[in-house]
């Protein structure tokens, strides 16, 4: 019988890789706390409508990528493909709209059925930030600054470029959408099949197409700047001024869009060239219409998400875990003493590796394999004298230490 294999597009995070993932998430969590963001955890699966309604029934995510199924009770359930909709649902469900503004951070797995590639999986992980209840441009500046600080703390900020654009307010988007539709209809024969389908339902998404033919058509498309209202222009100018004051460099990207109707004003991405075509490591924008779409009160919001897998590919090797103290008991009486000693040392804050069997040579080989810092050797002779042999595994120096002061003498190896 062949050995069982993981599902395509998933991966096992073995200890070394998991340490990199945890470093990304823990670093982001620490920085987010400094900005006043509290951590939230939402269910991995929701009623399908939680995602289908705000993301859009006709989008590729809903039609092609969501993992949707009926549970035993007949309910249609979807594994979450993104964080924002679930977090907004949680805010509405728990009556938190009375406690605005809300600053929320989250970290966890997402699920999308798409072609696996470097840094992209069908089960992947994200860190996420949402700021709800702040309509001012300062909110956009803060979440972008938070993203930049996290990237800096991970050591990857200098390898990314912040791309930013404005999607304007409602009147701006309505006028721009009409201009785009008129432009693309005259060139529909040059568009890809996907873009022709988007033309009626979501023309802004054509601007983000990766199809080479679509890119050529997009080169001549009207730009959003011509259709911005004075209010939208002032909002974006205030965001850019805030970034300038924080000395956060950016690049204006007029083709950067968010195609869903509830997105407005600021859209942004931190992009790297170090991961090939899939270069966006953190992206987001303002979504003032989302809460209303989901049945809650009209509430402004802005946030971003970042892929942990992609960031883990960029970060330097995180600090190694603490090196353990290896306990090496020799004989039945020493085994019993070592079991108690291991528990005592762990409670005192030491990392302890206690082997399960073997002679002195094998146990020291085990200590070397786990890269232990020191070995505590206990046999019948040591027990008779109420001491332990303490060996520095880096220098090879060994001394007898009274058990009563062993913890104190181990302190330099902690």
DSSP string, 349-366: T--EEE--S--HHHHHHH
Residue 285: which of 152, 111, 112, 139 has the closest Cα?
139
| Shared domain check, 403 and 310 | no
Residues of the chain short of pLDDT 50, as ranges, are none
Within a domain: 218: no
Does 119 share its domain with 233?
A: yes
What's the pLDDT score for residue 278?
59
Residue 318 Cα distances to 233, 237, 352, angstroms: 42, 38, 21
Structural domain contains residue 1: no
Query: What is the model's pLDDT at position 13?
Result: 92
Would you state the pLDDT for residue 121? 87
> Is the domain of 308 the same as that of 331?
no
Say yes or no: 390 and 298 in one domain: no
In a domain, 141, yes or no: yes
Give me the phi and psi of 288, to 5 degrees please.
Answer: -65, -20
**Whether 60 and 148 share a structural domain:** yes
Indicate the pTM of the whole model.
0.88
Give the separation between CA 265 and CA 248, rounded to whole angstroms: 19
Q: Which domain holds residue 402?
A: 325-413
How many structural domains compose the chain? Answer: 2
Using CA atoms, how far residue 16 sits from 22, 23, 172, 346, in Å, is 10, 11, 49, 22
E strands along 95-249, which residues?
102-111, 123-132, 161-166
Distance CA 225, CA 80 (A): 34
pLDDT at residue 118, rounded to an integer: 63
CB 31 within 8 Å of CB 146: yes
247 Ramachandran zone, left/alpha/beta (phi>0; psi -120 to 50):
left
pLDDT of the residue at 261: 66
Which candidate, 270, 157, 186, 179, places its Cα nearest to that of 225? 179
Residues 342 and 289 in one domain: no
The secondary structure element, H or E, covering residue 78 is: strand 76-79
User: Is residue 294 a contact partner of residue 85, using CB atoms and an 8 Å limit?
Assistant: yes
* 276 within domain boundaries: yes
339 in a structural domain: yes
The verdict on residue 92 lying in a domain is: yes
Shared-domain flag, residues 77 and 161: yes
CATH number of the domain bearing residue 36? 3.30.930.10
Given 314, 337, 368, the domain boundary residue is 314
pLDDT of residue 50: 93
Residues 50/79, Cβ–Cβ less than 8 Å:
no
400 and 337 in one domain?
Answer: yes
pLDDT digits (tens, 9 = 90+) for 224-236: 888 999 999 999 9
Residue 198 belongs to some domain of the structure: no
- The domain boundary residue, chosen from 290, 314, 338: 314
In a domain, 384, yes or no: yes
pLDDT of residue 116: 65
Considering 314, 335, 364, which residue would you say is the last residue of a domain?
Answer: 314
Q: Measuring CA to CA, how many Å separate 195 from each of 115, 202, 217?
A: 19, 9, 11
- 263 and 131 together in one domain: yes
Q: What is the CATH number of the domain that holds 402?
A: 3.40.50.800
Whether residues 35 and 133 share a domain: the answer is yes
Same domain as 265, residue 344: no
Task: Show Cβ contacts of residue 270 under 8 Å, excluding neighbours closer than 6 positions.
Answer: 147, 148, 151, 160, 161, 162, 163, 280, 281, 282, 283, 306
Residues 274 and 347 in one domain: no
Q: pLDDT at position 255, please?
A: 83
How many residues are listed for the chain in this entry?
Answer: 414
């Amino acid at each position: 019988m062949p050995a069982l294999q993981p599902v395509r597009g998933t991966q096992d995070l073995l200890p070394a890789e998991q340490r990199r993932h945890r470093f990304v998430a823990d670093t982001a969590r620490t920085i987010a706390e400094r900005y006043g963001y509290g951590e939230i955890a939402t269910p991995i699966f929701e009623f399908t409508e939680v995602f289908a309604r705000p993301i859009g029934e006709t989008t590729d995510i809903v039609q092609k990528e969501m993992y949707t199924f009926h549970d035993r009770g007949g309910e249609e359930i979807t594994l979450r493909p993104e964080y924002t909709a679930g977090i907004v649902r949680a805010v509405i469900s728990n009556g938190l709209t009375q406690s605005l503004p809300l600053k929320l951070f989250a970290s966890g797995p997402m699920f999308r059925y798409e072609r696996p590639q470097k840094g992209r999986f069908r089960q992947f992980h994200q860190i996420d930030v949402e700021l709800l209840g702040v309509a001012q441009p300062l909110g956009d500046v803060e979440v972008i600054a938070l993203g930049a600080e996290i990237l800096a703390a991970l050591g990857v900020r200098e390898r990314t470029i912040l791309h930013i654009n404005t999607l304007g307010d409602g009147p701006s988007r309505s006028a721009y959408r009409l201009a785009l539709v008129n432009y693309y209809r005259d060139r529909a024969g040059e568009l890809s099949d996907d873009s022709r389908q988007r033309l009626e339902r979501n023309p802004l998404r054509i601007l983000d197409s990766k199809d080479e033919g679509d890119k050529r058509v997009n080169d001549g498309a009207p730009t959003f700047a011509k259709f911005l209202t004075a209010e939208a222009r002032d909002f974006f100018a205030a965001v850019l001024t805030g970034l300038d004051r924080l000395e956060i460099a950016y690049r204006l990207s007029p083709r950067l869009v968010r195609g869903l109707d509830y997105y407005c004003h600021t859209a942004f991405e931190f992009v790297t060239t170090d991961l090939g075509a899939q270069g966006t490591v953190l992206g987001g924008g303002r979504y003032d219409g989302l809460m209303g779409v989901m049945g809650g009160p009209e509430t402004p919001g802005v946030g971003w998400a970042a892929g942990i897998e992609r960031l883990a590919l960029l970060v330097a090797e995180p600090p190694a875990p603490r090196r353990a103290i290896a306990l090496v008991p020799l004989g039945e009486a020493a085994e019993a003493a070592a079991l108690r000693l291991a528990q005592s040392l762990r409670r005192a804050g030491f990392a302890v590796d206690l082997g399960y069997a073997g002679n002195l040579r094998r146990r020291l080989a085990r200590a070397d394999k786990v890269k232990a810092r020191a070995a505590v050797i206990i046999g019948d002779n040591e027990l008779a004298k109420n001491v332990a042999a303490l060996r520095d595994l880096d220098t090879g120096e060994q001394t007898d230490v009274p058990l009563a002061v062993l913890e104190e003498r181990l302190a330099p190896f902690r």
